[in-house]
Structure 1
Amino acid sequence: MSANGEADLPIIIAGAGIGGLTAALFLRDRGHQVVLLDKANVLSEVGAGLQLSPNACAVLDRLGLLQELEPHANAPDNLRIWSGTSGRQLATVRMGSFLKMRHGYPFWQIHRADLQRVLLDKARATPGISIKLACEVMDLTSTPYGNLTCIYQDADMTGNLACKALIGADGVWSRVRRLVPGHENARFSGQVAYRTTVPIDAVPRRWTTDPGLWLHRDSHLVHYPVKGGRHLNIVALAEENWQDERWSTRADREALLHLFRNWPAEIRNLLGSSDEWLKWALCSVKASGPWSHGHVALLGDAAHAMLPYMAQGAAMAIEDAAILARHLPVDVENVPAALRAFEFHRKARVTHVQKVSFDNARTYHYSGALALARDTVLRLSKPTSLATRFDDIYGWTPEQ
């Protein structure tokens, strides 16, 4: 038992998304009781694919989840990079067996809902983890005797739970972040992402194999199979003066086609293959800001939301979860010190990955001479050399 008698109190996690669920599983594995609070009435994820690079798979393997995830995943052999101006292929990036041999784990593309469902099923089947929905964390208070109480609001009343720590895994618009002095709120990047999924048999065969990355002035597009190869995930990103704090908002296909009016006809036809588009404002949270204060810590997007130009947002939350649990053994004596150690352990890596993402955002959207130079470098690069550029990101494991 810890010196202050907290051993039997739970750790409360605000947010039952990918980061929150992964953290709950790792903390329970360390022996903690865990309570997950989520403001949603039903836990569900809507139409978005994500990438599980080898570093993320290394963490999920520690939870024994790779076998359950594999039927839902697509493991591409190559990434093909295209010019959104000329329609020509610029480069091929080796993935698949090359990355698995190099790093020991696969590079998967998966639907967010499938990943969350596997994590949620595991959490619900794990004694010692409880999930309360329609509950939003409001505050964390302490008594003169040092007892902590998490205040939450549900549909009918204000409730409270005694706890030993509060973890904010409640996303880019985190409410828990307000409890960490000095942490800035999310900032709009000036860019918007449109997303959809379509049945794989509804598009030409050329789109159904290797994923594609298309580069154009002030915009780019990615597409790749998800749902075990049964659907194609399409994400079109462009600079646009629009903001919305909701995770997703319905988008107008004609407005999207207008944004991509100067793109090749085959891409416009692909965009026109779906009537169901969602869009969201791309926002970021500076990873260099504070992540912890007393018995409160942030992880994932709440601490360091990043632009999707390195496809590492989910991976960083998954990594955070494993390292947080490492710093919180069940008999932890000093929770605030442990949370500060977690922050110190993670901050340099996440700040680096966030910077790579920002740098990619500029490079992807070059125009004129800069775009010409970029395309020339891509054409002259070997497929394996392009794949090894991010060894420091993909090669990470929880033991490092």
Structure 2
Amino acid sequence: MPGTGRTYYIAGAGISGLTLALALAKFGATVVVLERSPTISEFGAGLQISPNARKVLDNLGLDEALTARSLEPNGIDIFPYRRQTPLVTLELGAIMRERFGAPYAVMHRADLADTLYKACRRFANIDILFGVRSWDVKSHAHGVTVSIDEANGQSRTGRGLAFIGADGVHSRTRTDIIGGPQARYGHRVAWRTLLSFDSAAGQIALDRVTVLFGPDYHMVCYPLPHRRQINLALFAKVTQAKSELGTRPQLPGARTQSPRVDALLTAAGDTWSPWPLYTVRASEWHTGNIGIIGDAAHAMVPFQAQGAAMGIEDAAALAPLLIAEASAEVAFEKYHRQRRNRVARVARTSATNGRIFHLRWPFSLARNLAIAMQGRRGHLRRLAWLYGHDAQPVVALTRARRAAD
């Protein structure tokens, strides 16, 4: 495809930023990505790539690479507190492809970031600058002017049609440039670690995701076969200061755990990393030709496992608009209108899940009964609005391709 003559700057080489860079480059645009870290760095966490996100990534040509580094689980085993056998196994696997047109997979966050990075490196029109010391951006009638202090101490100035902040939950683009809110800490923490397959033998299935409920906490276990490891993520509310979290989960009230949770905690020892959870509610996602996507715009609690997916969807929605519209400002306005209600609904669902997952007895009995009554396929109906979504409307893609040509 011939070049569009359009240049875009992106702050942040995370999942949202690299997905957007790849999508824009596929339309022939020139993309400059600014990253403070010296390398691609997504720290140890498993994530779910549900069909709504996988369709975007597959359209970018990543199907084969993702399949090689992810697991398409047969289901999700749900274990209420101290239960020895699953209450139900939510069906995944082939039925997800049949219902929603793409697989449901789990993988390590670093593997997804690396897959995106390698895909970007194949495009001569994507330039990723690592170790960027600082940047400044000004919006004007014809686009943006970006000043960059590079890792080697040199400075450069460039011009483009738009600047997109994909710089995460503590986004400088949101707070300093757009004038949006600071991220909010809700005293929830995700403790994360990796176990070898052998260490978890007999405790969880290695071809399925496992969710373990407890009073005021829950644990999610993601098998990662190509690594021969299992990612554990334990979520709980805490009263401690962030500086006092340590390297072992501090469960509410120090309650006696179920034997399965005890065994996994013992196997992991002091290898856990605490990750304080922040949320963002920004009413504005752009000013002039400067906008934000992903966690920078709408970070949410991870109890529907859609944080990365929403950033991927953002990129898929925004890229064709930036190419097709006469001005970036119009593109950002349309993108915001398209995305805000859906993102808000996902955030509400995630927050509700957090309350449901952490219920204490006797309220947990009602939760367990509701889950059992929905059965193995109830989630397919309940979440069809989420998994069946197409973030790349045909009209927008058609207009963008015409503009690129």
Query: One fold, TM greater than 0.5?
Result: yes
Say yes or no: does 1:151 pair with 2:147.
Answer: yes
Q: CA deviation at 1:240?
A: 0.7
Aligned match of 2:274 = 279
Aligned match of 1:38 = 35
- Looking at structure 1, the residues matched to 58 and 314 of structure 2 have their Cα atoms a distance apart, in angstroms, of 15
Say yes or no: does 1:109 pair with 2:106.
Answer: yes
Aligned match of 2:160 = 163
- Looking at structure 2, the residues matched to 229 and 159 of structure 1 have their Cα atoms a distance apart, in angstroms, of 40
* Alpha carbons 2:211, 2:220 under 8 Å: kept: yes
Q: Which is further off, 18-27 or 148-157?
A: 148-157
Q: CA deviation at 1:157?
A: 5.1
Aligned match of 1:394 = 387
Return the match for 2:285 from 286, 291, 297. Answer: 291
Letter in 2 for 1:193: A
* Alpha carbons 2:139, 2:289 under 8 Å: kept: no
Aligned match of 1:4 = none
Say yes or no: does 1:27 pair with 2:54.
Answer: no
Aligned match of 2:230 = 232
Q: CA deviation at 1:209?
A: 3.0
Describe the shift of the 1:75–1:392 C-alpha distance in structure 2 as closer, same or farther (beyond 3 A): same
Q: Secondary structure at the match of 2:377?
A: helix
Q: CA deviation at 1:252?
A: 2.1
- Looking at structure 2, the residues matched to 146 and 100 of structure 1 have their Cα atoms a distance apart, in angstroms, of 44
Q: Which is further off, 154-163 or 122-131?
A: 154-163
Aligned match of 1:3 = none
Q: Which is further off, 177-186 or 105-114?
A: 177-186
TM-score by length of 2: 0.89
Q: Secondary structure at the match of 1:236?
A: strand
Describe the shift of the 1:230–1:345 C-alpha distance in structure 2 as closer, same or farther (beyond 3 A): same
Return the match for 2:358 from 362, 365, 375. Answer: 365
- Looking at structure 2, the residues matched to 102 and 137 of structure 1 have their Cα atoms a distance apart, in angstroms, of 46
List per-residue Cα deviations over 1:285-314 (Å, max 9, x = no partner): 11x521111011100000011111000011
Say yes or no: does 1:129 pair with 2:126.
Answer: yes
* Alpha carbons 1:257, 1:272 under 8 Å: kept: no
Q: Secondary structure at the match of 2:106?
A: strand
Letter in 2 for 1:307: V
- Looking at structure 1, the residues matched to 17 and 60 of structure 2 have their Cα atoms a distance apart, in angstroms, of 14
Return the match for 1:384 from 377, 385, 388. Answer: 377
Q: Secondary structure at the match of 2:218?
A: strand
Q: Secondary structure at the match of 2:221?
A: strand
TM-score by length of 1: 0.90
Say yes or no: does 1:81 pair with 2:67.
Answer: no
Letter in 2 for 1:339: F
Identical-pair percentage: 34
Letter in 1 for 2:186: S
Describe the shift of the 1:260–1:36 C-alpha distance in structure 2 as closer, same or farther (beyond 3 A): farther
List per-residue Cα deviations over 1:268-295 (Å, max 9, x = no partner): 1111212421111011111x52111101
- Looking at structure 1, the residues matched to 117 and 345 of structure 2 have their Cα atoms a distance apart, in angstroms, of 30
Describe the shift of the 1:52–1:151 C-alpha distance in structure 2 as closer, same or farther (beyond 3 A): same
Number of residue equivalences: 387
- Looking at structure 2, the residues matched to 243 and 10 of structure 1 have their Cα atoms a distance apart, in angstroms, of 43
Q: CA deviation at 1:348?
A: 1.1
Aligned match of 2:207 = 209
What is the Cα-based RMSD across aligned positions, in Å? 2.2
Q: CA deviation at 1:104?
A: 1.3
* Alpha carbons 2:139, 2:288 under 8 Å: kept: no
Describe the shift of the 1:146–1:398 C-alpha distance in structure 2 as closer, same or farther (beyond 3 A): closer
Q: Secondary structure at the match of 1:368?
A: coil
Q: CA deviation at 1:149?
A: 1.3
Q: Which is further off, 261-270 or 154-163?
A: 154-163
- Looking at structure 2, the residues matched to 121 and 98 of structure 1 have their Cα atoms a distance apart, in angstroms, of 30
Say yes or no: does 1:263 pair with 2:261.
Answer: no
- Looking at structure 2, the residues matched to 244 and 161 of structure 1 have their Cα atoms a distance apart, in angstroms, of 39
Q: Which is further off, 46-55 or 147-156?
A: 147-156
Q: CA deviation at 1:180?
A: 4.9
- Looking at structure 2, the residues matched to 183 and 147 of structure 1 have their Cα atoms a distance apart, in angstroms, of 21
* Alpha carbons 1:137, 1:150 under 8 Å: kept: no
Letter in 2 for 1:279: P
Q: Secondary structure at the match of 1:273?
A: helix
* Alpha carbons 1:216, 1:366 under 8 Å: kept: yes
Describe the shift of the 1:308–1:364 C-alpha distance in structure 2 as closer, same or farther (beyond 3 A): same
Q: Secondary structure at the match of 1:302?
A: helix
- Looking at structure 2, the residues matched to 98 and 68 of structure 1 have their Cα atoms a distance apart, in angstroms, of 22
- Looking at structure 2, the residues matched to 234 and 126 of structure 1 have their Cα atoms a distance apart, in angstroms, of 35
List per-residue Cα deviations over 1:1-30 (Å, max 9, x = no partner): xxxxxx645200000011100000101112
Q: Secondary structure at the match of 1:323?
A: helix
List per-residue Cα deviations over 1:350-387 (Å, max 9, x = no partner): 11111110111111111133222111112222111133
- Looking at structure 1, the residues matched to 183 and 158 of structure 2 have their Cα atoms a distance apart, in angstroms, of 28
